[in-house]
Amino acid sequence: MAHPVDRSGSSSCCAPHLAASPGREPIPAGRGAHPIEQCHVGAGVFRMGDPFGDGLAGDGETPAHEVSLDAFDIDATAVTNADFARFADDTGYRTEAELAGLSAVFHTLVHPRAEVVGRSPRAPWWLGVAGADWRHPEGPRSGILGREDHPVVHVTWHDARAYCAWAGRRLPTEAEWERASRGGLEGARYPWGDDLLDAHGNWRANIWQGSFPDHDTAEDGWPGTAPVRTFAPNGFGLWQTVGNVWEWCDDPFDPRAYAKRARGPVHDPRPRVAPALRVLRGGSYLCHDSYCNRYRNAARSSNTPDSSMGNAGFRTVAL
């Protein structure tokens, strides 16, 4: 099922269930080229979670707590359409959206000649579109020509893991993702500080401006995805960890995880819950304060690992 994330803290389905694909051939491990620039994040302790009370209770962003991590290397950018194309062309891999024949597209972005086959009753701005997939983000008559440097979307958690296997990589843990997103700025709302606009009134991230869900003024320059090296990198050199696209993390989602860790420093936390949901981080180009305020370092969300939508992608970490 395609589950775009809403601000209520629950998921809103808008298309038939996209079941995990049976009978796939195993992806050749570690044979693929992964040319994305790497950012080194040194070992250390950081404060994970929301110190401002900005998040929703159901997201489990509190209490803020100390976490220690070993050093790791993480992609400077999200995996792009060009990166994913190399993987798909090398392996013949077909994403879950391609196998299912549909994915979730935001209503203002649907190609005018696309076939709409479903609509979310709780979030009617999300439409199930026949033939929407990573190569055809708005429907089968759309394409990625000219968007090779945009983040790949319409990829499930399973699809992201398949890419990682081919590239000899892995998805970041949620703790690694947040430490990397903070860029060394402890306690800040965003990778650059606490203000959405810079000193000249310019937007620092690709999120929604205007009246959600019908009118995006695109004051940040982008009504949909932006190239992965838009705006400015954070203190560790990562680009666009907030806004643009949601990013899959490896962890199962546990809304009670932080409460369980509050007694003292934790090293490399990994939730021990059934993996019905997987963590998503960073928000997307659709985030607006009236609907989804999750374009923050501490913001958490989740979705089923077979969910495919037009505002979710991923970045990877070295093994």
pLDDT score for 31: 85
Give residue 25's pLDDT band: very low, low, confident or very high (50, 70, 90). Answer: low
Q: How many distinct structural domains can be found in the chain?
A: 1
- Residue 3 domain-assigned (yes or no): no
Query: Mean pLDDT throughout 189-212?
Result: 96
- Residue 242 domain-assigned (yes or no): yes
- Residue 96 domain-assigned (yes or no): yes
Cα(13)–Cα(284) distance, rounded to whole angstroms?
18
Mean pLDDT of the chain: 91
pLDDT digits over 78-94, tens only? 999 999 999 999 999 99
Cα(71)–Cα(267) distance, rounded to whole angstroms?
12
Cα(182)–Cα(191) distance, rounded to whole angstroms?
5
Per the structure, the complete domain to which residue 44 belongs is given by: 38-318
Burial of 4 (0-12, 13-18, 19+ CB in 10 A): buried
Query: Mean pLDDT throughout 2-25?
Result: 40
Whether 80 contacts 88, CB under 8 Å: no
pLDDT score for 275: 87
- Residue 48 domain-assigned (yes or no): yes
Bridge partner list, 313: 247
* 43 contacts: CB under 8 Å, gap ≥ 6: 68, 69, 70, 71
* CA nearest neighbour of 163 among 56, 90, 247, 219: 90
Give the least confident one: 6-20, 29-43, 149-163: 6-20
pLDDT digits over 136-179, tens only? 999 999 999 999 999 999 999 999 999 999 999 999 999 999 99
Whether 46 contacts 179, CB under 8 Å: yes
pLDDT score for 28: 76
Whether 133 contacts 154, CB under 8 Å: yes
pLDDT digits over 233-284, tens only? 999 999 999 999 999 999 999 999 999 997 778 999 999 898 899 999 999 9
Cα(144)–Cα(97) distance, rounded to whole angstroms?
16
pLDDT digits over 203-222, tens only? 999 999 999 999 999 999 99
Q: Tell me the backbone φ, ψ of residue 105, rounded to 5 degrees.
A: -125, 135
pLDDT at 12 over 80: no
Q: Which amino acid is at 73?
A: D
Strands 126-130 and 116-119: antiparallel
pLDDT at 19 over 80: no
3-class state of residue 294 by DSSP:
coil
Give residue 30's pLDDT band: very low, low, confident or very high (50, 70, 90). Answer: confident
Structure tokens at 189: 């709302």
pLDDT score for 102: 96
CATH number at residue 46: 3.90.1580.10
